[in-house]
Amino acid sequence: MTETTTGSKDYRDSGLEFPADFLFGSATASYQIEGAATEDGRGPSIWDTFSHTPGKIVNGDTGDVADDHYHRWESDLDLMKELGLEAYRFSIAWPRIQPDGSGRVNEAGLAFYSRLVDGLLERGIRPVATLYHWDLPQALEDAGGWTNRETAYRFAEYAAVVGEALGDRVHTWTTLNEPWCSAYLGYGSGAHAPGRTEPLAALQAVHHLNLAHGLALQELRRVVTKADAEYSVTLNFHVIRGHDDSSPEAIRRIDALANRAFTGPMLRGEYPADLLEDTAAITDWSFVQPGDLDVIRQPIDVLGVNYYSTVTVKMWDGESPRQNADGHKDVGGSPWPGSTDVEFLVQEGPYTAMGWNIAPDGLEELLVSLSEQFPEQPLMITENGAAFDDVVEDGRVHDPERLDYLRRHFTAAHRAKQRGVDLRGYFVWSLLDNFEWGYGYTKRFGIVHVDYDTQVRTVKDSGRFYQELIRTRRLPE
């Protein structure tokens, strides 16, 4: 699978056909869309605390209301049906299920997700449930959060509670969304909740999130009754490009921290030796206990792949003004423990509204690389999409840049499949404009526009493009 495909260099194909079993979906996350932050027994999460901390989020935005999906879920399901979605990837808010992070179960929280799952099934939409999309119950952070090994065990207990309640209907379970963000942005750079900037904490979080993944899969497989349920994890892979002869070392370092710190334990049952060496000045990794790696390496049916853009790196020469264009908010800490001497270079455009470069070839390269690294592992694009500034005009949202982005990345996905990648489907991020973490509501990723004052939803042109792609299973002209 190393031959390169031909096709248009700019990936702007049309007419490409996707097979009948290729799954077309869209994705959201609980804290980003639900609102109702204190309703029906929901407890506080680290994102409630973080977003209510002055200075952390642009414009002081919070997820208190968001898209008010907690109250509008039925009409949002009707919207998914209208678009023809075959699957919907959502996340379950742990603090709605266990407000204190352990023990007492909030039945109203379980009931909300039970209604949501039933509503999806009634509309012929496959439920894909993520257990953790970053909204850790604050009570667990107060006890150390992901730096505390006990949190992994609390996560497994939470997984069992949800698995028992929804395990007869959910089609695909995803344990974690992007543990890289939870660990490195939450405990390393400080750009995400809980906003800590401690290299050791970030690496402890990496391991305890890996452990949580394994423990949760064991619990889900114990309690889930749906015989054909599938199990997965979603990782945001970094596609890393070079610049000069110092780049191979920089690429290796970032690949170890960003990618292999998770695929190593989860898919190979070991931490990469170079990762341990690169971080030896911070820790001896003695928080990894005997047997942990056997627990973490649970088989998964599909590997979720989140992709948005590439990064370009070199080793900083220690003198010239360094660039820090790794695509994440720089709030003072580093998401790269042990490799803060890697320089992230500004890449060529065009860019999305996040300042991320538009590189569909990076998606093709990533999928082929993962397929070559893990030939037996089916893949699913669980997030791909773009933020651009949108305006509603006469009840329409013309978003040609987002439509073009999707066309180019669907082309890349199709090419990867042509090269033999076992790619099972594609979830567009996101169904709805929503709370974009540190950027608040200033970045719009939805194929459906949300007016945050009126909560009116407006399907964008990109949403109609997707609707047509799903209907015909061909990339529209």
CB of 328 to ligand GCO, least distance (A): 9
Token pair, residue 307, equals 């992709």
Nearer Cβ to ligand GCO (167/335):
335
Can you tell me the distance from the alpha carbon of 215 to that of 209, in angstroms, rounded to the nearest whole number?
10
Nearer Cβ to ligand GCO (441/445):
445
CB of 29 to ligand GCO, least distance (A): 5
DSSP β-ladder status, 448-450 and 423-429: unpaired
CB of 234 to ligand GCO, least distance (A): 7
CB of 429 to ligand GCO, least distance (A): 5
Sheet containing strand 342-344, strands side by side: 239-242, 310-315, 342-344
For ligand GCO, which residue of 48, 61, 67, 178 counts as binding (CB under 6 A)? Answer: 178
Q: Which residues of 5-15 are buried (b: 16+ CB within 10 A; e: fewer)?
A: eebeeebebee
For ligand GCO, which residue of 177, 263, 283, 411 counts as binding (CB under 6 A)? Answer: 177
Residues between 25 and 64 with contacts to ligand GCO, criterion CB under 6 A: 29, 32
DSSP assignment letter at 185: I
CB of 142 to ligand GCO, least distance (A): 24
Q: Closest Cα partner for 41 from 137, 123, 129?
A: 137
* Site size with ligand GCO, rule: CB under 6 A: 11
* Residue 223: alpha-carbon gap to chain centroid: 25
For ligand GCO, which residue of 184, 231, 445, 466 counts as binding (CB under 6 A)? Answer: 445
Give the helix, strand, coil percentages of the chain, each rounded to 5: 40, 15, 40
Token pair, residue 10, equals 């700019």
Can you tell me the distance from the alpha carbon of 183 to that of 188, in angstroms, rounded to the nearest whole number?
7
Token pair, residue 139, equals 């009570």
Is 383 a binding residue for ligand GCO by CB under 6 A? The answer is yes
Nearer Cβ to ligand GCO (70/316):
70
CB of 366 to ligand GCO, least distance (A): 14
Is there a catalytic annotation at residue 17?
A: no
CB of 405 to ligand GCO, least distance (A): 13
Is 436 a binding residue for ligand GCO by CB under 6 A? The answer is yes
Q: How many CA atoms are closer than 13 Å to the CA of 389, on its beta-carbon side?
A: 4
For ligand GCO, which residue of 116, 136, 181, 345 counts as binding (CB under 6 A)? Answer: 181
Q: Which one of the spans 137-145, 150-158, 160-168, 177-185 is the region binding ligand GCO (CB under 6 A)?
A: 177-185
Strands (E), 395-453: 423-429, 448-450
Is 427 a binding residue for ligand GCO by CB under 6 A? The answer is no
Token pair, residue 355, equals 């300042």
Catalytic residue, from 178, 219, 343, 436: name it: 178
Residues between 230 and 249 with contacts to ligand GCO, criterion CB under 6 A: 236
Outline where 181-310 has alpha helix (H): 199-223, 247-255, 261-263, 273-278, 292-296
Is 76 a binding residue for ligand GCO by CB under 6 A? The answer is no
Is there a catalytic annotation at residue 34?
A: no
Nearer Cβ to ligand GCO (34/383):
383
Token pair, residue 333, equals 């800490």
Please provide residue 195's backbone torsions phi and psi, each rounded to the nearest 5 degrees.
80, 30
Residues between 295 and 354 with contacts to ligand GCO, criterion CB under 6 A: 306
Can you tell me the distance from the alpha carbon of 19 to that of 379, in angstroms, rounded to the nearest whole number?
15
Q: Which one of the spans 104-112, 173-181, 210-218, 457-465 is the region binding ligand GCO (CB under 6 A)?
A: 173-181
Q: Contact residues for ligand GCO (CB under 6 A)?
A: 29, 32, 177-178, 181, 236, 306, 383, 429, 436, 445
Active site residues: 178, 383
